[in-house]
Chains A and B, each alone.
With several copies, the nearest count.
Chain A
Amino acid sequence: MTDMSVQTGAPRRTAFELARRYALFVLLAIMLVGFWWAQPAFINSANLFSILQAVSVVAILGVGVSITMSAGGFDLSVGSVAASSVMAASYAMVVLQFGAGETFALVLLMGALIGLANGLLIVKVGVPDLLATLSTMFLLAGLQLIPTGGRSITAGMMLPDGSTAKGAYDPAFLILGRSRLFDIVPLPVVVMAIVAVLAWFLMERTRFGRVFYAIGGNETAAHLAGAPTKAYRLWAYVISGTLASLGGLIIASRVGRGDVSAGASLLLDAVAASLIGFAVLDKRRPHVLGTVLGAIFVGVLLNGLTMLNAPYYTQDFVKGVVLVGALALTFGLGKKKR
């Protein structure tokens, strides 16, 4: 069997393939330089960290979304889990007078449990992923408002029963959203980095990640190869729910009050980040690095445009145009022939 075909050792990459792999990096670099040129204040480190801070929540939620996507699912509930977590954290401190630590634990637990509920609905009851998480989304959007009768939660608020809330945001809780490491790096950015590195390691460097992807690729095959597929899919949702509630904690600790929202735009931004991630490194699949880069990409764009005083409505448009451009570049370049 030596005469079979001509073999070359390492895969040679054509220029097209290279361009496809790094298209988003190059675009990002162009954007950075362009904004710098147009507005020198753009490039100072404080602003760059502001950008990272601004995208941290979306990136964290996006990582969760991309993990569920890897396992062949889709978590539509991340936005409302994050929104509910903001309310839950506020409620815990302002109404129940919990401390920062307890609030943290409680909210993360809540996120994990919601993820578990999603997962059970999907793997045990057999509801399709999109459908199950969509229901959860609606359910949470309403549920989070019931304890306070639709009011947002702040210290001294009136409760539905007419009494006044006695608690307040624990100052220790606000550290997460408002302080900086070494006086430079905002803590949310540190959290995002930790989440990203851990998730990347899990998904790309451990056998668990391999199994997540295998399940997403062909669940039957993964099952026959001995993977406990149901447990993995459950875990994917638990991770996603926990990350979403972590995102909610960051929002709460930054804003310092429990604001009412359904989380729809958080969901879309998180999904956008993980979808843009498909194009990063030409992987054509969800992955952690791509998701984080996708979130940063959009963040840089929005920050730069705001600095250049572009009206808010052009921002969405430019976001769309740049997305289409980046995608056309990544996916269109040197496409495989039939």
Chain B
Amino acid sequence: MLRKGLLAPIRANRPSHSSKAIRQRKTSTNRTLTALSTLSPSSAAPFAVAVSGVEKAFGPTRALAGADLAVRPGEVVALMGANGAGKSTLVKIISGSLAPDAGTITLGGRTVSFASPREAKAAGVATVHQATDQAGAGGLTVAENLLLDEFCGRGPLFVSGRSIRKRAAAIAAALDLDLPLDRDFIDLRPAERQLIAIARAVAAKASVLILDEPTSSLSTAEAERLFTIIRRLAASGMAILYISHRLGDLAAIADRAVVLRGGVIVGEFAQPIDFPAAVTAMIGRRLEAAAHSGEASTAPSILSIRNARLVPGARPFDLDLRSGEVVAITGTLGSGKSRLLRVLFGLTQLDQGTVTLDGAPWLSSGPAASIAGGVFMVAEDRWASSLLPPETPGASIAGTIALPHLPRWFPSGILDTMRERAVGNDAIRRLGIKAKNADDTLDQLSGGNQQKVVLARWQAAPCRLLLLDEPFQGVDVGARADLITAIRNSQSASATLIATSDTEEALEVADRILVMRDHSLFAADDGHGSLTAAIGSVETAETRTQP
């Protein structure tokens, strides 16, 4: 399917429920559900789920300050909001894993109060949480994880390896997923984890389905497949609350968009949804198109890869990155994007081929050598790759940013926490990270803000080559634009290689786009192409992978 640029008017190819234009509200403290329902007079059915006046504070931080929201059966509601707006908190409250400080939740008209996720599940609320590290349990196989809800709920008492495999295969088949059923969950890549989380939630046959950024590491093809499922579920009468920072996703499936800001609902948009206005409501300012030349660079080459084969049997490819260039690699799940980045960072080796960095052969023995040599990488799974448990010293924003730079900053070995804090506070200011100060631990941050900290870590020192693997996961559109500007401004003497499964994102950030397929790179443009050419190239590549 065709996915447009960020600011292009987007319309879903479905009949709209309402022809009303935008309705914006400034506050919702005394908003009632009846008022909400006036938005969509065409359907008078009771809400499948409704929350009203929900409040939640974490210490001095008010994550929710009286939020109201309602979803009808068969309706897909997009919940939009900047990073830290309170979306995930609301999700956690509805799904029973957080207790609200105030407010009520009704399910099918009945007031409920969940003491645990178990109760919420039993009442028919299925949830895909934002954090992929909570999508399943290590030590169990993929098959067992697919059945985790059955085990933890009221599935059959007796199990065997065979029955588990059979039932899990059925769940995977229902969603047309091809998952390595016997592999340990711990060995999965984030995208696969995300698919498992989705499969589990869909298999739960709930009346309310909540998806908190379910596509953040999925590529267009997988996301598209998810949308098909969502439409089918909605058609069967399920109420769906969908959270994403990918506007394309929302455009594809949302019947209605609700914007959360500062813990309250500040706007509602019915079909046709005016996304630019929604984004303005969300981030409090208009979003300007990120301007970049897209012109062929004549700067000296920083990285050049020759005759490289990622895995045995793959087609060899070449790649050149010039100083100041931002290149994006996109492609389907498992096509090898991460692998290429991992090779450059020294985590695995090329099957064949040569890599030169600044004219010298580049063969890193591991992250330590890479970092010393000026090659930085933001790994794709922030939970596994960057976050420390909160009680660990150095789990704060300042500590997280400082970790790779400790040897350079403190050659004597003695820490200077003031310096760390200064860098942390600078990052908070620069990237608009929503946190009290640099001493906050990352578990207190919203998903997008965690990701910003991870990005800030690698901007804290100059580098030659910056490798970003799914860098904008969960980052809101406003912040993404800021980040891209920051990357462009600060990295003028270095090259940036971004692996992203989101084509829209690639179009937005990159000077050049390359497509990876079957562990090989295909140029989307040959040095003088335009963005449109790039899109075309991406599309042909994608259609080619799905014969």
| A interface list, Cβ under 8 A from B | 1-9, 11, 204-211, 213-218, 220-228, 283-285, 337-338
Contact = CB atoms under 8 A, between A and B. Distances in A.
B403 A214 contact: yes
Contact of B118 (A204, A210, A215, A227): A227
B436 A8 contact: yes
B131 to A, nearest CB: 8
Interface stretch (B7-15, B47-55, B154-162, B524-532): B154-162
B434 A210 contact: no
Interface of B: 60-63, 82, 84, 95, 97-99, 116-118, 121-122, 127, 129, 133-140, 144, 147-153, 155-160, 176-180, 182, 185-186, 200, 221-222, 225, 261-263, 283-284, 332-335, 347-348, 366-368, 370-372, 377, 379, 384-389, 391-395, 399, 403-404, 406-407, 410, 413-415, 432, 434, 436-437, 439, 457, 518, 545-546
A227 B122 CA distance: 11
Given A207-B151, A207-B407, A210-B144, A5 B61 contact: yes
Contacts of A337: 99
A217 B222 CA distance: 27
Contacts of B118: 226-228
With a 10 A CB-CB cut-off, give which of B95, B122, B159 has the most chain A CB atoms.
B159
Contacts of B160: 205
Those 4 A-B pairs whose CB atoms lie nearest each other, nearest first: A217-B137, A227-B152, A217-B392, A217-B139
A145 B296 CA distance: 76
Contact of B388 (A2, A218, A223): A218
A2 B546 contact: yes
A76 to B, nearest CB: 21
A238 B118 CA distance: 22
B367 A226 contact: yes
Contacts of B149: 225-226
Given A5-B334, A227-B403, 20 more contacts: A4-B434, A5-B63, A5-B434, A8-B436, A204-B393, A205-B159, A206-B157, A206-B415, A209-B393, A210-B148, A210-B394, A213-B139, A213-B388, A217-B186, A224-B97, A224-B129, A224-B377, A225-B151, A226-B116, A227-B118
A205 B415 contact: yes
B384 A221 contact: yes
Contacts of A213: 137, 139-140, 388, 392-394
A11 B84 CA distance: 20
A206 to B, nearest CB: 4
A74 to B, nearest CB: 16
A284 B387 CA distance: 18
B200 A225 contact: yes
Contacts of B283: 1
A264 B395 CA distance: 35
B413 A217 contact: no
A207 B415 contact: yes
B159 A224 contact: no
Contacts of A11: 182, 436, 439
B178 A4 contact: yes
Given A5-B262, A224-B386, A285 B139 contact: yes
Contact of A207 (B262, B406, B518): B406
Given A225-B403, A337-B99, A5 B62 contact: yes
Contacts of B348: 338
Nearest to B120: A226
A215 B139 CA distance: 10
Contacts of B121: 225-226
Contacts of B136: 218, 221
B405 to A, nearest CB: 9
Nearest to A214: B137
A337 B156 CA distance: 33
A3 B284 contact: yes
A205 B160 CA distance: 6
Contacts of B395: 217
Contacts of B368: 226-228
Nearest to A337: B99
A337 B366 CA distance: 13
Contact of A220 (B134, B155, B178, B407): B134
Contact of B148 (A205, A220, A225): A225
A62 to B, nearest CB: 19
Nearest to B420: A210
Contact of B137 (A8, A207, A221): A221
Given A1-B178, A7-B436, A209-B393, A214 B148 contact: yes
A41 to B, nearest CB: 41
Nearest to B160: A205
A224 B388 CA distance: 12
A204 B414 CA distance: 9
A120 to B, nearest CB: 18
Contacts of A338: 97-99, 347-348
B62 A6 contact: yes
B499 to A, nearest CB: 15
B60 A6 contact: yes
Contacts of A221: 133-137, 148, 384-388, 403
Nearest to B410: A207
A218 B180 contact: no
B134 A206 contact: no
Nearest to A227: B152
A1 B481 CA distance: 14
Contact of A211 (B200, B347, B406): B406
Contacts of B225: 1
A226 B371 contact: yes
A63 to B, nearest CB: 16
Contacts of B386: 218, 221, 224-225
Contacts of A222: 137, 148, 152, 403
Contacts of B179: 4
A225 B95 CA distance: 10
A220 B152 CA distance: 12
Contacts of A205: 158-160, 414-415
Nearest to B129: A224
With a 10 A CB-CB cut-off, give which of B97, B395, B403 has the most chain A CB atoms.
B403
